Structure 1
Amino acid sequence: MKKGLAYYRFCLKAEAKYRVNFIAYLLHGFIQLVAVLFIWNLVYSSTDSGVIEGLNYQEIILYTIISMITTQFMVLDNDFQIAGDIQDGNLAYELVRPVSYITKLFFQGIARSTTSIVLVGVPSIIGVIIYLSQQESLAIALSRACLFLIIVTLSVGLMFCVNLLFGYSAFYLNYSWGFLLFKGTFISLLSGALFPLAMLPESIRGFFLKTPFQYMLYFPTMVFLGKLSPEEIVTNLIIQVIWLGIFILLCVVFWRHAIKTITINGG
């Protein structure tokens, strides 16, 4: 843990150093958010009731903002990191260092997401709490926010494991970047980052809700939005923990197998 925290502090300083890169990331996120809001405005203006699958216009705006907040926690990039280390030959050096390579990846990923969480996520969460407190009560808004943060913590672990599994593809592929880019689009679709899964046809929605990917974004977002009952929250939370355990086990198994078949290109 001590060595991991040292990596965290080092990477956090590195993230703060490249200010232009971070500003560009913020502008990208802001432009994307504005574009999505315009699209939802057009969609809802064409409906008679102003409600689509139980979500009105104000709620879909909140969903978009909360999903953006959740995304800030998922900026880990450990899949590209491990793929780059394998293909550049740096993994050979990482494996002989006196710290677990996976531990290093985890704390590096947390450091990458910390800056965006502090500058974007925290102010946005406060804004959502203020808005919800005007609709219901401050106590309810705060309880939802706390539950949201607990669930998102598990979601970060799940995202880290999924990224690891996809990053391990570099052990078997000579070029894995296209595969990892496909993974990003695939998870965005199945996690509800592009739109609420509730808006899908029932047959497709049922399939998407059975995958582990909805627990990365859709589940915590709907909890913060107050669209799930206490029974649904408890049930989904238990399933999320089970999925996290399964993916941790898969990461361990695939790592032990992949490390035996490693081929270093370059270096």
Structure 2
Amino acid sequence: MSAPATVDARSTPVEAAPTPVSVERAITTLAAVLTVVLTAVAFWLSYEHLQEVAARHGMAEAVARSWAWPATVDLFIVIGELLILRASLAHRVDWWAIALVTAGDGASIALNVAGVGQDANALDYVVAAVPPVAALLAFGALMRQVHAYLTRRTLTAVNPASTGVEAPSTPVMGSADASHPAPPAATPPALDPMPSTGPEPLAALASSTPVDEEASPVALASTAVDLCMPVVYANRVDQLVRALYGTDFTQPSTARMTTAMAGAGLGASESTARTARSRVKAREPYLADFPTALAG
């Protein structure tokens, strides 16, 4: 079988197609720029026309006052739009801000149209009304874009964007490849058998297992120690009687033995209990040194 041909990725460059997110961002940016330009132009045309109206009606000689007078009308629109934006970000309705925008827009349109004069034709009134209406619509569109941008920033801060890779809730076992078997599990090293050469010298034991001489002493009365070496009896009664010796270090009485035998299902014969106690004491003579006050 011939080897597969290799492909050089550098010889065939691939240009990534623009994503919907980048296209949307470009359109939004262009719309925002055009809206700002339109707003500025419309406000300038409306403002200048109102300045001419003010100059023709008593402010011809006060140039500074004639240029300042349109601000008493148009700034109401700016203030109202900003207050509406603030209210929308707070998810409420500011009727006072809406009233300011309505009053400012209405006054601007009316003064621009009235400043044309009484003997003008209809097209002159339209030309005078277009700048304030365009300023109103453009400024509203601009505030809407600002509101959408701030809302998107707020949602992004609260809900971070997902990376697209989520960890599985349960571990996933990959399918085994027959051509590449999994390596065998590592087995622990075998322990070396204990040397059979006999006990080590005392010097070696002392050097290998150091003893802390400052260990705290153990109170003798703190824990109970069973001094009886455990001995296994083939007879269950004997084993039960032998266990009674190690509970309170006394020789068990007949009543105590029969009670324990009955609880274990071995009957309650007193002779059987005494015989078992004799066998136990015969096998372990040192048990006779236990107190016999409770022995029966």
Per the TM superposition, whether the score is higher than 0.5 is: no
Task: Give the TM-score, by structure 1 length.
Answer: 0.28
Which protein shows a greater Rg? 2
RCO greater where, 1 or 2, for CA within 8 Å and sep 6 or more?
Answer: 1
Q: TM-score, normalised on structure 2?
A: 0.25
